[in-house]
Structure formats: C-alpha cells, structure tokens
Structure 1
C-alpha cells in the first residue's frame, strides 16, 4: 500500500476536524436539497418556530431523520468493513461478503412470506436477528477443522452463506409476488421513509459497536502484524477476532436493520481511510466513520436528482460509486492491510 497522505499526527487531527465539519455540512445539505424546494432559512425556522407548513413538515418528518440515519448507517458500515478487512486480511471483505446482508434479507422475506409481517419496525428487529444468526453460523463454519478459525475459512464461510441466503431469498420472492412488493424497497437499500424511531431503537447497539471498535484499535494493530507475531507478543488472537466479530454484528446488523443492504461502503471507505492515514487502526476507525457518513450522505442527496421527481434507492447510488473502486481493488488483488 502506498504511503499515507497525512503523515503527522497533527495533520491527521486537522483532517479529522475537517471531516467532522464536512459531515455537519452534508447533513445540512440533506436537510435542504431535494424535490421540494427548501432554503437554509426554512430549515432554521423549522427548528426554532415550527409552523406546520408543508416545507417544515418535510424537513422535520422526512429530511432530518434520513440525514441522521444516513450518517449513522454510513459510519457503521464503514467501520464494520474496516474491522472485517483487518481480521480476515481480505481487501474485499465487507458485510456483504460476511453474509450479514444476505442473512438479514432472508429472514425479512421469511417473515413476510410466512408470518405476514409488514411493519418497518418489525423489519428492523428481524433483520438484526438475521444478521446475528448468520454471523454465528459463519463463525461456527470458520472454526471447523484442525487449524481452527482462520481468515481464509472465515471468508469462504461468509461467501458461502451469502450465496445460499441470496438464492433462497430469490426463490421465495419468485413464488410470492406479495412479499416481493413489500420488501423490494428494503432489499435495495434506502434511507428514504425511515423515521427517527428506527434509529433510536438501534442506537444503543450502534453506540456500543462504535465504542467497541475504538477499544479494539490497539489489538487490531498488533493483529495486523501477522498471526504468529501477535501470538508471540502475547495476544489472544481468538478473543480479539471474536470481539471484532461481535462489534461487526452490532454495527453492520443494526445498519442493515435500519436501511437494508447498502453495499460497497464497507469495501470502499476503509481503503480510502488507509490511503489517508496509513494502517494504524487508531486513525483508520475514526476516519472510516467520518468518510462512510459522508459517502452515504452524498449518495442519498444525489439519489434525489437522478430521476426526479422519483428517487433512486441509495443502495443503487453507492453501487454506482463503489463498483469502479471494487474492480480496481479486485485487480490489485494482494493489497497489504
């Protein structure tokens, strides 16, 4: 990997401050830009003197929730992706490779098909449960064999589960048009139409995941030196990997539960973060969070203008942004993490 763009700690701190400012700016832009014309004065008035007008209702009931949800989901998926790439030593690792997206989607389709579930709040909890179950299965499969849990086995197990759940989901949807109509908007990945209540429901899990990721940074730095070196330094690598897996489930599972399977953020952002600050996870994790929030906010704002007055699901926008980068990373193949 090329040397980081930001060399000194002072530069990295300044970069973080700039990143925080940009996230705030993009959140504000998410309040303002869209099909319904709104200006900055209206946004401020909607907080100071809400008058029940159409513009104020749109700001408070639609754009404010989706802005905060977009920032939280983008940050969580990016941090989860950074941890996954670290413990699997796979530059293409992400919640989709780990099978979390596919597992959550499968459980949602099962709930709609067999139990007639239709509430977005119920979707959130079912998706979170599906993500946890999938992660446990992947971990169990990854530990089989004499050599125990290895990055290659974990990655292969995740890819196998993702393929299986995706196939089962497609099979059920092809036989049930009603289920397809009800979950299609969720399966494409979107922050549109979500309420703040969904975010507040999952926020405790997200906060625990964010804090847990920060606490793991030192251990991830040691693990990045190689399994043998980490063991030689006294690290209990199995515990570190299990802890990281729990954090990944909390972050990616909650994010998928809120917004559906938004792809590519978990792949793209960690590489950009490492290009800026190097391989030190003390910087990679917070930078990934900021950059992930920015990317999803930008994608969501752009999604409002592609086929106006309708909107493109933000998952489609992140795919358009992330696919060229994904191909570039795949072609390089042997990136060092």
Structure 2
C-alpha cells in the first residue's frame, strides 16, 4: 500500500482558496482608499472632512481646501509610482527566479538615473517625456548588463551572482552620476533633490505624461502572468509546457523596465518597494502570478502613499521624502530576506 505524500509548501501556496484571495483583495482595496484619504488630509496642516469634500467638488476658497487640491495629484502620483515599482519588482523576481530582485538592488533605478543625468548634461533634457525615454533606455541597458554579468560562469545566472552584480553595478553607476552632475552647478541642486526620490513635485501635467508608459508596462506585465507561473517550474519544464522561455523573459522584462524607468523619471530612484511588496503579497495570495501581480500593484500603491504621508507627518512643517522612508523600512527587510531565504531561487 502506498503512502500519500503531502504537497509541499510551494504547492499549498499556489492553491490558496479563491475565497481567501477575494477577502484579502477587499481588505487591500479598503486600506488603499483609507491611505489615499489620509494623504489628502494630513500634511503640514491637517484638513477636516468638510474641506476635503469641498475640495473634491472643485472649491479652493480656504487654505485647507487649497491644500487638498494640491495634495490630490501628489496622492495619485504616489499611488501610480508605488504600483509601478512593486509590479516591476514582482515581475523581475519571476523572470530571474531571484527573491532579491528589485529595481533598486539590481541597478535598474541607477541606470535610469544615469541616463537622465547624461541627457541633462549633453542634450539639455527639460521635458518629462524626454526624461522618461532616457530613463527607460538607461534602465534597459543596466538590466541587460547586470544579467549578462550575473550569467558569467558555468552555473549561469544564479540569484546570488545577479544580486552581487546588481549591487556592484548600482555602486558604479552612482559614482558615475556624481561625476556627471557635480561639475554642472546649474543642474546639480535640482538633480540632487530629485535624486532622493519623492512625489512632492507632482502635477497633473507630469502624471499625464508618464501615464501612457505606466499603462503600457502594466498591460505587458499582467499579460505575462500565466507564463511567469510556467517559468517558476524551471526552464525545461516551461519549454515542455509550450512556453518560449527566452521570449517570455524578454517581454516580461520589457514591461518591468518600462514601469521602473517611467516611475524613476517622474519621482526619482525609490528603492525597496519592489522587494518588500511581492514577498508580503505571497504570504496573502500564494505564488500564482495571475493573483500576485494585481495584488502587488494595489499594495505597492498603498505602501508608497503611506510612506509619503509618514514623511510629511514626522517632521512638520518640513517633510522627509518618501524614498528615505522606504529605505528605512526596506533595508532591514532586505537583510531579513537574505538570512531567511539564503539567496535561493524562488
């Protein structure tokens, strides 16, 4: 008589019941709405509910109502950038099967930032759209370079090698950014404030310019969800299931690079959102990317919006940029993931 074996933890995680997932979806949506309301209510001055409703109706007669009107695009941009970075990180983790994959850790953000810096110095970039194109190009080149360096050797692109290649590349690109910008006093001050990473300068115009790139990247990533499930089984099994492994990796990586490059262009290099959120969401909904990717999009939007609110509240009337808040949260989480996962593949 044969003894039935229990399914492994990965299988159990992949088979989370739909009812539990839908329940968590409602919770995440409710938290996101509350965080966005907090974002328009709290800041250098706290605004009451009557002023919030009046401002949403188009009234800006009082200082409180004017503050709400100014905070609305900031809140929208924080949600969009957070969603883009979280989704980009989840897709990068799925493509590389690396639990440490994150646009900041792998040097993607720094590649986008260096491209913008070079563009500002050489061709005088001054429009958000031009920033976005340069940022996407820089992010793509940086991604290819890190993956190529991490693939050197007989073992191929292991998670540890990719993480080390990304860390080394980030350090090198950061030095290059300083070397490019520092001699140019006319752009150094504005660039340094953008370099920290934040959404304080949000306008409806900048949101409109970046939105088409974010939507395109979002659609590409979501369409790759089923294929990413196959990649999680290994390249050989994925190919046996009919997936064109190289094509799937390329297309999914393109979507992730578009999201990361566009988000970096409009908000600066914000790290660790793409690392923290996918790991948290796997605890809630399992490993199925068809559920995971929508969840990380919503949770990432809420996380960066909450970080922006915290940054405005802890040092009133001044503020701390959201990129600093996410770094303070993400650095310990990164250490935890390294110790717990021991840099294994997903």
TM-score (norm 2): 0.87
Q: 1:272–1:51: structure 2 CA closer, same or farther, 3 Å change rule?
A: closer
Question: 1:18 matched to which residue of 2?
Answer: 27
Question: 2:3 matched to which residue of 1?
Answer: none
Q: How does 1:293-304 map to 2 (within 5 A)?
A: 293-304=301-312
Q: How does 1:83-162 map to 2 (within 5 A)?
A: 83-117=91-125, 122-135=130-143, 137-138=145-146, 150=157, 158-162=166-170
Q: How does 1:1-337 map to 2 (within 5 A)?
A: 4=13, 7-60=16-69, 62-117=70-125, 122-135=130-143, 137-138=145-146, 150=157, 158-332=166-340, 333-335=342-344, 337=346
| Greater shift in the superposed pair: 228-237 or 131-140 | 131-140
Q: 1:289–1:99: structure 2 CA closer, same or farther, 3 Å change rule?
A: same
Q: Distance in 2 between matches of 1:290 and 1:282?
A: 14
Query: Which secondary structure state, in structure 1, belongs to the residue aligned with residue 313 of structure 2?
Result: coil
- The size of the alignment, in residue pairs, is 335
Q: Distance in 2 between matches of 1:173 and 1:241?
A: 34
Deviation at 1:316, TM superposition (A): 0.2
Q: 1:114–1:145: structure 2 CA closer, same or farther, 3 Å change rule?
A: same
Unmatched 5+ stretches in structure 2: 1-8
Q: Distance in 2 between matches of 1:106 and 1:49?
A: 40
CA RMSD of aligned residues (A): 2.7
Alpha-carbon deviations, 1:234-261, whole Å to 9, x = none? 2110011001111111111111111111
Alpha-carbon deviations, 1:170-213, whole Å to 9, x = none? 22344344433121111110001211211211111211222222
Unmatched 5+ stretches in structure 1: none
| Greater shift in the superposed pair: 44-53 or 100-109 | 44-53
Q: 1:251–1:225: structure 2 CA closer, same or farther, 3 Å change rule?
A: same
Alpha-carbon deviations, 1:92-131, whole Å to 9, x = none? 1111233221112112222344445456665445434432
Q: Is the 8 A contact 1:118 1:182 kept in 2?
A: no
| Greater shift in the superposed pair: 1-10 or 230-239 | 1-10
Q: 1:215–1:121: structure 2 CA closer, same or farther, 3 Å change rule?
A: closer
